[in-house]
Amino acid sequence: MNIGVLALQGAVAEHIRSVEQAGGKGIPVKRTEQLAELDGIIIPGGESTTIGKLMRKYDFVDALRDFSAQGKPIFGTCAGLIVLADRLDGAEEPHLGLMNMTVARNAFGRQRESFETDLDVKGIESPLRAVFIRAPLIKEVGSDVEVLSTYKDEIVAARQGHLLASSFHPELTDDYRLHAYFVDMAKEASERTAK
């Protein structure tokens, strides 16, 4: 599976390493033309406002909405989760507006409130190590969204069909099972379109 990592900002190399460990082919994506060759794409962490501006500058907003409309999987981590959301706490306009959820930015506080913990994630057998850095929080989800993981009763991972989102950074650990979960989503999607 060709899994792109949007290479405008964020931990691109770490995501590519995790994708490759999970059995996929990781591809840094800097131009919209590259989307045609992908089976799925990851929008990494970073700063959501900056990522949003760069996506608009390089014409990725409509291109990624089209990618999603084809049923191709998109995985947003940390700031990438904010980019996927269709509702943001406060006055900020949504970026892609694809996923039926309300997100609060920096809900876990500033950089010094960053932490690591083990999380139970639906679809993954044993607890997953999760790194939270200035993490956003999923405040509420629509009925079409499946909650995959919570931390202290707050939603930190969710899935809506071909869309996957996590508040934490799965690429910053040696546990690549969430990336493997996403590679499987890409396989399922490509098998569906092949039929």
Instruction: Write out the catalytic residue numbers.
Output: 78, 169, 171
Q: Contact 94/136 with Cβ under 8 angstroms?
A: no
Whole-angstrom distance, CA of residue 35 vs CA of residue 41: 8
- Six-digit token pair at 161? 């069909």
Q: Contact 6/40 with Cβ under 8 angstroms?
A: no
- Six-digit token pair at 10? 């964020």
Q: Is 110 exposed, middle or buried, given 0-12, 13-18 or 19+ CB atoms closer than 10 A?
A: exposed
